[in-house]
Every structure is written in structure tokens, then in C-alpha cells.
């Protein structure tokens, strides 16, 4: 395994992991899910999920990857004990990554389309602007063209390898993303709706919280931290030497949460200033925001900044999704990186066409929604549960102390990974499949 590519330094790893974590989940999903669930009460539940389940499992995944120096399938096989084939968890993870990237790339394609439109600026009546989205959806070739563009871009970045490709892209795109976000936050602060937005994000209204909110909070926290399918195992496997895993996990989760919160600070003042409802759903950034961009002073420029920001976030996440599949093929079948990228990239591109053609559906459910449901509601929580069980119960505590240390924080997180996270995940999973 000496030929394995590694991160140049610790900062490279953190930026790449944050790049994977910060994506459409933070900027597109988090604000609308918060809006739908009544604001800050939901954010509190979300924070609890990040601390009790997110950080412990993030730590588990990085540990499993770093210790084994292998892709998710090999890594879980490395910890095999008894007769249950742990590698199955890895296979399910690779499959899950393939499914997620197939539609993630289509949504990233929409962002590219909106970025192009922002160069011209959004104009027209409210209906006309929100019809851009329906028109895009009803034009399969356009969707497929953007999906192809995104997949090819991601493949080209990966061809360069871990250090020269992923790490370099993250080192350029993540600081840019931070800068764009700050500019947009400053802009939103000047808006009249900032006061309402701040109130909405910080004064908990528990009356809007339902049983479903807990499921949604856990699901969103899992998705946004890239957990449950081996992405962090893969990134952990490119680590070597002395790295404080606990500290890294806490840092990655904190930055990810901060960015989700800042995305809310950017979006909600715009929404409140224009007296709109924050609960617009998935169409929030594609239908609601462009209408607002067309009305506000300097909206043209803000739209450009905003869609660039989302695009950078989405690309670095897509990179991590493809890397899981690529590392699996290169490790397990000993084939070259280029061949693995072409094979997996093409496979995912083909699968993505099902989501790109929005009229194709299964009993009325479009493929994009179906794939998202299968992956994020079933496969991720189940994958996370199995990972937590392997980490908590099949690996000796002393080996963990040796690698991660035994500070009070680490011990608490190890306890959470062994008991709290699996239990919560089990409850969520059983609830999801309707068992109680
Ligand atoms: N975390 C990314 C987001 O928030 C999406 C993502 C990248 C992901 N890699 C993943 C989700 C692995 C689940 C698993 O948009």
C-alpha cells in the first residue's frame, strides 16, 4: 500500500473533508428544512443530532479509514471479526455513493444553469421567473447536458489524484466559498428583514416541532456531514502520521454547522424583507430567490455570487462521492486510477440520466426523488448504524485509545459512538420503515 496517495498536510485533509461536508445539503436543503420546521427549535434538535450522532460517527469513519489505509470495502473487511462479513457495509456504501452522485450531479447542473442565467440577470414577472425552473425540468437535453458537464468536471479533477486533484481543488474552492459567504452575509445584514430572520433563527418555537422533525434533523445532519457511506472512511484512509482524530472531527462538524447557519443568515433576510414565507420547500433557491434577486438593488451581482458559492460547495462534495467509488475499484481490482474514474464516472453518468429526465418515474415518483429517498432515508442511516456498531463493539477500546487518545472528550465521544448513536439511529431507522 506504499503507493497510496496521501494528503500533503493536515490542513489539506480538513479542507477536503469540509469540502465534502459543505454542499447542497447546507445551502439548499438546510435552509428549507429549517423553514419548514419552524426555525430555531429545529436548529436546536439539529445541533443535538450533530453532537450525539454526527461527531461520534465522523470520528469512527476517520478512524476506520486511517487505521486500515483502505477503501470502505477493504477497510471494513480489515476489522472483520467472526462470521458476519463486514465488507457488505462497505459495498452498500459504495452503491449508496453511486446513487447519491447520480442525482447530486443533476442538481449541481441546475446550479450551473442558474449561474449562467445570473450573468444576464433575472428579469420578468414573478411567474416568468419561477417558470425558468419548470422549463429547465421539462427540457431533458438541457438537464443531461449540464449533468454531463458536471460529471466531466469532477472526473477531470479526480484524474489528478488525491493531493494534486482533491486537495488542490479544496484549497482553492473552500477559501473562495468562505469569502463569498462573508460578502453575502454582510449584504443580508443590511436588509430590513434581518431582524425577523434573526428572530426566526434564534427564538425557539417548539409548537412547530413534530415527530417528523426529529427524523428530518437526524437525516439532514447525516447527509450534510457526508456520513453513512464511507466518504469519510475514504478521506481518512489518505491520512498518515500523527493526527488528532477527535479534534479533526469536532473541527469539521463545527465548520459545516457554521456554514449551514450562515447560509440561513444569507437566505432568510432576503425572504423576510420581501414578506415571503420561509417554508417554500425545495424550490426555495430555484424559484423564490431568483424572483427576489430580480427585485432587489444589486440583485444581479448578488445572484452571481450566490450561485457561484453553491456551485463551489456542490463540486467539492461531488468529488468526495466519486472518490469513494474510485478508491473501491482501484484498491479491490488493482486497476489504474484513470480506468476506475472512466468506468465509475460513466456508470454514474448513465444512472444520472434517469434523474435528468424528469418525466421518467416509478408510480408517479420521479427518479430523482426516489433515489434521494432510498439513499438518504434508508441507506445512510443504516450504513451509519452498522459503522457505529463495528467501531463501538468490534474494535478493542485499547486500540482506539492508542490511535485517538483517551482525553475526557474522546472518552465521551467513544461512549456516544458505542451506545447513544446506534440507539438513536436504530429508532430512526425503525420509524422510517414504519415499524413503530
Ligand atoms: N455532504 C454533502 C452535502 O451536504 C453531500 C455529500 C457529499 C454526501 N458526500 C456525501 C452525503 C456522502 C452523504 C454521503 O451536500
List, for residues 305-352, the tens digit of each pLDDT value. Answer: 999 999 999 999 999 999 999 999 999 999 999 999 999 999 999 999
Q: Is residue 262 part of a domain?
A: yes
Q: Is residue 1 part of a domain?
A: no
Q: Is residue 4 part of a domain?
A: no
User: Ligand 1 mean position to 125 CA, how many Å?
Assistant: 35
Is ligand 1 within 6 A of the CB of residue 30? no
Q: Report the nearest-CA residue for atom 13 of ligand 1.
A: 226
Q: Report the nearest-CA residue for atom 9 of ligand 1.
A: 226
**What range defines the domain where residue 159 resides?**
10-432
- What is the DSSP track for 84-118? S-THHHHHHHHHHHHHHHHHHHHHHHHHHHHHHHH
Q: Can you give the pLDDT at residue 1?
A: 45
Is ligand 1 within 6 A of the CB of residue 111? no
User: Ligand 1 mean position to 259 CA, how many Å?
Assistant: 14
User: Structure pTM?
Assistant: 0.94
Q: How far apart are CA 298 and CA 295, in angstroms?
A: 9
Low-confidence ranges of the chain (pLDDT < 50): 1
Q: Is residue 5 part of a domain?
A: no
Provide the number of structural domains found in the chain.
Answer: 1
- Domain of 330, CATH number, reads 1.10.4160.10
Q: Is residue 361 part of a domain?
A: yes
Mutation pick for ligand 1 pocket among 16, 18, 19, 23 (CB with most ligand atoms within 8 Å): 23
Q: How far apart are CA 49 and CA 219, in angstroms?
A: 9
Q: Can you give the pLDDT at residue 288?
A: 82
Q: Which three cell numbers stand for residue 47?
A: 445541533
Q: Which of 78, 79, 97, 77 is nearest to 87 (CA)?
A: 77
Please state at what angle helix 397-404 crosses helix 408-415, rounded to 10 degrees.
Answer: 140
User: Ligand 1 mean position to 51 CA, how many Å?
Assistant: 18
Report whether 328 contacts 94 (CB < 8 A).
yes
Q: Report the nearest-CA residue for atom 11 of ligand 1.
A: 226
* Coarse DSSP helix, strand, coil percentages of the chain, rounded to the nearest 5 percent: 80, 0, 20
DSSP one-letter code for 116:
H
Residues 6+ apart with CB under 8 A from 427: none
CB atoms under 10 Å from CB of 178, counted, come to 18
226: left (phi over 0), alpha (psi -120 to 50) or beta: left
CB atoms under 10 Å from CB of 404, counted, come to 24
Q: How far apart are CA 379 and CA 48, in angstroms?
A: 22
Q: Which three cell numbers stand for residue 249?
A: 472531527
Cα of 38 vs its chain's centroid, Å = 22
For residue 366, what are the β-bridge partners?
A: 361
Cα–Cα distances (Å) from 231 to 62, 69, 72, 131, in that order, read 9, 13, 8, 36
Please state at what angle helix 337-356 crosses helix 87-120, rounded to 10 degrees.
Answer: 60
User: Ligand 1 mean position to 225 CA, how many Å?
Assistant: 6
Mutation pick for ligand 1 pocket among 20, 30, 154 (CB with most ligand atoms within 8 Å): 20
Q: Report the nearest-CA residue for atom 12 of ligand 1.
A: 226
Amino acid at each position: 500500500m506504499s503507493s497510496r496517495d496521501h494528503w500533503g498536510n493536515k490542513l489539506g485533509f480538513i479542507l477536503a473533508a469540509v469540502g465534502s461536508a459543505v454542499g447542497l445539503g447546507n445551502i439548499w436543503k438546510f435552509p428549507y428544512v429549517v423553514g419548514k420546521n419552524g426555525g430555531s427549535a429545529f436548529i436546536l434538535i439539529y445541533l443535538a443530532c450533530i453532537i450525539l450522532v454526527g461527531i461520534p460517527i465522523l470520528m469512527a469513519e476517520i478512524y476506520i479509514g486511517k487505521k486500515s489505509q483502505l477503501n470502505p470495502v477493504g477497510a471494513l473487511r480489515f476489522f472483520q471479526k467472526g462470521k458476519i462479513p463486514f465488507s457488505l457495509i462497505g459495498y452498500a456504501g459504495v452503491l449508496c455513493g453511486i446513487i447519491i452522485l447520480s442525482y447530486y450531479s443533476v442538481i449541481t447542473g441546475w446550479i450551473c444553469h442558474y449561474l449562467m442565467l445570473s450573468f444576464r440577470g433575472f428579469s420578468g414577472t414573478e411567474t416568468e421567473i419561477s417558470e425558468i425552473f419548470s422549463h429547465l425540468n421539462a427540457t431533458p437535453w438541457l438537464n443531461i447536458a449540464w449533468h454531463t458537464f458536471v460529471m466531466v468536471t469532477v472526473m477531470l479533477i479526480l484524474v489528478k489524484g488525491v493531493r494534486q486533484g482533491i486537495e488542490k481543488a479544496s484549497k482553492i474552492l473552500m477559501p473562495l466559498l468562505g469569502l463569498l459567504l462573508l460578502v453575502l452575509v454582510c449584504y443580508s445584514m443590511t436588509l430590513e428583514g434581518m431582524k425577523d430572520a434573526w428572530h426566526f433563527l434564534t427564538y425557539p418555537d417548539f409548537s412547530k416541532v413534530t415527530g417528523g422533525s426529529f427524523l428530518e434533523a437526524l437525516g439532514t445532519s447525516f447527509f450534510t456531514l457526508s456520513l453513512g457511506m464511507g466518504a469519510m472512511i475514504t478521506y481518512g484512509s489518505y491520512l498518515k502520521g500523527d493526527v488528532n482524530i477527535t479534534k479533526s472531527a469536532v473541527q469539521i462538524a463545527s465548520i459545516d454547522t457554521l456554514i449551514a447557519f450562515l447560509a440561513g443568515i444569507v437566505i432568510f433576510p432576503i425572504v423576510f424583507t420581501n414578506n415571503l414565507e420561509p417554508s417554500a420547500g425545495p424550490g426555495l433557491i430555484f424559484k423564490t430567490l431568483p424572483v427576489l434577486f430580480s427585485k432587489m438593488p444589486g440583485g444581479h451581482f448578488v445572484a452571481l455570487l450566490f450561485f457561484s458559492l453553491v456551485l463551489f460547495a456542490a463540486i467539492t462534495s461531488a468529488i468526495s462521492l466519486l472518490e469513494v467509488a474510485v478508491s473501491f475499484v482501484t484498491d479491490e481490482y488493482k486497476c489504474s486510477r484513470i480506468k476506475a474514474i472512466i468506468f465509475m464516472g460513466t456508470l454514474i453518468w448513465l444512472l444520472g440520466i434517469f434523474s435528468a429526465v424528469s418525466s421518467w418515474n416509478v408510480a408517479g415518483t420521479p427518479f430523482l426523488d426516489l433515489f434521494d429517498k432510498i439513499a438518504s432515508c434508508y441507506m445512510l442511516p443504516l450504513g451509519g448504524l452498522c459503522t457505529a456498531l463495528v467501531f463501538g463493539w468490534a474494535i478493542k477500546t485499547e486500540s482506539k485509545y492508542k490511535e485517538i487518545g483517551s482525553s475526557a472528550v474522546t472518552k465521551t465521544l467513544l461512549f456516544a459512538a458505542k451506545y447513544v448513536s446506534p440507539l438513536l439511529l436504530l429508532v430512526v431507522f425503525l420509524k422510517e420503515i414504519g415499524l413503530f
